[in-house]
Structure 1
Amino acid sequence: MDNDLLPKRPFMQKYHVKGIGYSVLFLFLLWGSSIMTGVEWGEFFTNLDQFFDLLGRMAHPAWEYTNIVIQPIAETIQMALIGTTIGTLIAIPFSILAARNLIKNSVVRGIIRFILNLVRTIPDLLLAALFVAIVGIGATAGVWTLAVFSFGMISKLFYETIETIDEEPLEALRAAGANNTQVVVFAVIPQVLNSFVSYFLYTFEINVRASTVLGYLGAGGIGVYLQRSLSSFRYDQTAVIVLAILLVVIVIDAVSNNLRERLQ
């Protein structure tokens, strides 16, 4: 091998010094953040016996509780699927209006992006509380919460994907006299379809997990039963619920990965 192709020692030394400097800076920021936030690292190890005590109580699941959690687990999956689908359908036109290479009007694009930023700013637990107050306790509140959450996240992923597409097909259609709708249908969608489906599946996975937490506020799903078991200190029932959620997450992850591989 030609020695001229190898990196020179001064460069490697400079890179090494920078790496050490960044590492020291990171550790300093970590230490400073711990001091400012009042984090007590020792408390974790001091109370570690309580953690193992909780695991010991969950080590003997109440398997007879399995039949009870099947229906709320199915409801959780349905909530995530419906909410993700609604959010995705609403996100598609917004993502098109927010894309820099499709919408040249900076005012329109700025307004759309401001709306998207505003939606992503609202925490999902706050959304759940709002929809529970509007539609009442149940799965409906959970569906609308997940729909708004999905809309905010997917729209950003979508318009960033649109902005990375090849511009030549768009320019060719515009030169041929195609309108904006035709450009989107025949030049944009074919290039981003696989990415859109992948983002949809990814958001669906997240929503299955998020819907578990939303149940604490009465937004339906398995989270309601998880909150009840913890409140009544029935950790044997909690173990069954956790295992059921784990099984669902594993199955969804396997299916999603398989679909992504086929799309690629």
Structure 2
Amino acid sequence: MNVIPKQRFVQKYHLKALGGLLLFILLIWWSARVTEVDFGLFFVNFDQFLALLQKMSHPDWQYLSLVIAPLVETIKMALIGTSIGTLLAIPFSVLAARNIINNDFARGLIRLILNLIRTLPDLMLAALFVAIVGIGSLAGVLTLAVFSFGMIAKLFYEAIETIDDGPLEALQAAGATKMQMIHFAVLPQVFNHFISYFLYTFEINVRASTVLGYLGAGGIGVYLQRSLSQFAYDQTAVIILGILAVVLVIDGISNTLRERLL
């Protein structure tokens, strides 16, 4: 008795999946046509890509001694920027959480500010801070701090909204203040998530600080831009390998810490 309805359900599911796939392919085709993307051009000029790889296949290891200092500077920029952004994000995330702040207008205003900050591209922030404080690592730190603030604040208030409301209601019934409720009921439940989000943002900032150097925001990106502009691809290879090593180490450490925390 249930065989026919089940077959109809499977057929209906397959038709929906096929329709979704066709719609996705249509959107890809339409987007490529509107943006004038020519995928065949990549294969036509693939020999240029191989020629570039060949030039980079012989790294200038003597250049490694000059790369270590800016790599360390890049890590410091990412660490300081992430730390500043995190400290600023904590109070804003509390104010944006629905289960902490009952005032819809105040909470909506805070979220609007956070959305505006996340809208600003990293490169535009870097160009702005370079114009304000000049070329150097300070511009990179400020850029990463603003980026981290917008990103971490959203992750934090979403984590706060998923906590168990039982401790909050118990403290509220006992006459606790908002600060006491946050200290004893909210932070203990989300502390591990906060550390995990901090490490995740730190990883992103290490990669982002490489690109920011193109605009004079300090770090290894300055040397990368210089080597590419001088067509010194043997030096570029050393820089890329150095960045890869740093990213792998940081990624491994942060993944280990997140697994132990969660």
Task: Give 1:235's aligned residue.
Answer: 233
Q: CA deviation at 1:4?
A: 7.4
Distance 2:139 2:59 in 1: 30
Task: Give 2:219's aligned residue.
Answer: 221
Q: CA deviation at 1:41?
A: 1.3
Task: Give 1:181's aligned residue.
Answer: 179
Deviations 1:187-229, CA, capped at 9 Å, x for gaps: 0001111111000000000000000000000000000000000
Task: Give 2:244's aligned residue.
Answer: 246
TM-score calculated relative to the size of structure 2? 0.98
Counterpart amino acid of residue 157 in structure 1: L
Deviations 1:141-181, CA, capped at 9 Å, x for gaps: 00000000000100011111111111111000000000000
Q: Residue 67 of structure 2: SS of its match in structure 1? A: helix
Q: Residue 8 of structure 1: SS of its match in structure 2? A: helix
What is the percentage of aligned positions where both structures have the same residue? Answer: 69
- Aligned match of 2:69 in 68, 71, 78? 71
Task: Give 2:89's aligned residue.
Answer: 91
Q: CA deviation at 1:15?
A: 1.0
Task: Give 2:42's aligned residue.
Answer: 44
Distance 2:34 2:255 in 1: 41
Distance 1:150 1:260 in 2: 18
Counterpart amino acid of residue 142 in structure 1: G
Task: Give 2:98's aligned residue.
Answer: 100
Unpaired runs of 5+ in structure 1?
none
Task: Give 1:128's aligned residue.
Answer: 126
Distance 2:8 2:148 in 1: 49
Counterpart amino acid of residue 56 in structure 2: M
Task: Give 2:115's aligned residue.
Answer: 117
Unpaired runs of 5+ in structure 2?
none
Task: Give 2:57's aligned residue.
Answer: 59
TM-score calculated relative to the size of structure 1? 0.97
Moved over 6 A (4+): none
Distance 2:139 2:51 in 1: 35
Counterpart amino acid of residue 125 in structure 2: L
Counterpart amino acid of residue 185 in structure 1: H
Task: Give 1:256's aligned residue.
Answer: 254
Distance 2:212 2:108 in 1: 31
Counterpart amino acid of residue 43 in structure 1: L
Aligned pairs, number: 261
Counterpart amino acid of residue 174 in structure 2: A
Counterpart amino acid of residue 110 in structure 1: G
Does 1:14 pair with 2:32?
no
Task: Give 1:154's aligned residue.
Answer: 152
Task: Give 1:190's aligned residue.
Answer: 188
Task: Give 2:33's aligned residue.
Answer: 35
Counterpart amino acid of residue 260 in structure 2: R
RMSD across aligned positions (CA)? 1.3
